[in-house]
Amino acid sequence: MALGKRFFGTPLGRALIGFSAAQYVRLVDLTTTWQVTNGNFLDNLLAQGTGFILITWHGSLMMTPVGWPGPKSLHVLVSRHGDGELVAHAMTRFGMVMVRGSTHREDRDQDKGGAVAMRKLVALLKDGQAVALTPDGPRGPARSLSGGVVTLARLSGAPILPVTILTARHRLLRSWDHFRVALPFSKGAMVFGEPIIVDRLLDDDRKEAKRLEVEVALNAVADQAHHLVGSGA
The CATH number given to whatever domain includes residue 117 is 3.40.1130
pLDDT at 154: 96
Residue 33: name the closest of 226, 170, 184 by CA.
184
Rounded CA-CA distance 201/150 in Å is 12
Q: Domain residues for 164? A: 2-229
Q: Is 57 exposed, middle or buried (0-12, 13-18, 19+ CB in 10 A)?
A: buried
Q: Is 5 exposed, middle or buried (0-12, 13-18, 19+ CB in 10 A)?
A: exposed
Average pLDDT across each block of 10 residues of the chain; the chain has 233 residues. List them in order: 56 81 96 98 96 97 93 88 75 92 58 78 97 90 95 97 98 94 98 97 90 98 97 70
Q: CB 27: neighbour CB atoms within 10 A? A: 14
pLDDT at 109: 47
Find the radius of gyration of the CA atoms of the chain: 17
pLDDT at 47: 95
Looking at residue 179, what DSSP letter applies?
-
Q: CB 129: neighbour CB atoms within 10 A? A: 18
> How many distinct structural domains can be found in the chain?
1
pLDDT at 108: 45
Q: Are 120 and 110 in contact (CB under 8 A)?
A: no
In terms of DSSP bridges, do strands 160-167 and 97-100 run parallel, antiparallel, or are they unpaired? unpaired
Q: Are 131 and 76 in contact (CB under 8 A)?
A: yes
pLDDT at 9: 63
Q: Are 27 and 93 in contact (CB under 8 A)?
A: no
- The answer for residues whose C-beta is within 8 angstroms of residue 34's C-beta and 6 or more apart is 187, 188, 189, 190
